[in-house]
Structure 1
């Protein structure tokens, strides 16, 4: 796990990042660390599910919806995260499943359509954490 010493609005909150594309996952992780978040990352829904039961629990989950050939997609992962911690923030990122957010997304979640700029990710996560605190 990477933890930043930055003392900005992120305040070192731990974020679980779930993205099956390695290069994109690394870029998103770097963006979040630079913004002051602690990041734990996973390449699949199953790997992320194992990380959700660790302590400290993540303050939020940033997840792609389509996670390759994994059996657990971002929708299922978000529901599991909320079962573990009802206050966990959920930020979905997706290029092709945005139209299903209203019916499949958990309440009080945010959807950030791909492609997006790194600053948009940081702003969306900041907005989400303010809403869920």
Structure 2
């Protein structure tokens, strides 16, 4: 899994959820364990990435969110949570790690 490997190689400890529902369950149960949400817009299950990010922000209004997508990025301005970042596929592992590092260090760009 490219995203997981890239994050590990970048020094992060990713937790991988099999669906949007599982991601929110993990965030609700272990909020202080996680530093950011990296979500594809299109996910298995009932929840898409837009809804998962909104759920994460209900748990913590300032929780950092990085969306990744191969399509649907045109909806980001209207459906994405404020102060989030969008990374379009294809992207390199270095681009992913840099986006997370910037999001965690500086917050999302305006």
Same fold (TM over 0.5): yes
Aligned to 1:15: none
Matched, 1:35 2:49: no
Q: How many residues were matched structurally?
A: 107
TM norm structure 1: 0.76
Which aligned pairs between 1:48-67 and structure 2 lie closer than 5 A?
48-55=23-30, 56-67=32-43
Q: Distance in 2 between matches of 1:59 and 1:131?
A: 13
**C-alpha distance after superposition, 1:10-52 (max 9, x if no partner):** xxxxxxxxxxxxxxxx221111011111211112101111111
Q: CA RMSD in A?
A: 1.4
Higher relative contact order (CA 8 A, sep 6+): 2
* Deviation beyond 3 Å, 4+ runs, structure 1: none
TM norm structure 2: 0.91
Identify unmatched segments of 5+ residues in structure 1.
Answer: 1-25
Larger strand proportion of the pair: 1
Matched, 1:73 2:48: yes
Matched, 1:129 2:65: no
Aligned to 1:94: 69
- Is the Cα contact below 8 Å between 1:67 and 1:73 reproduced in 2? yes
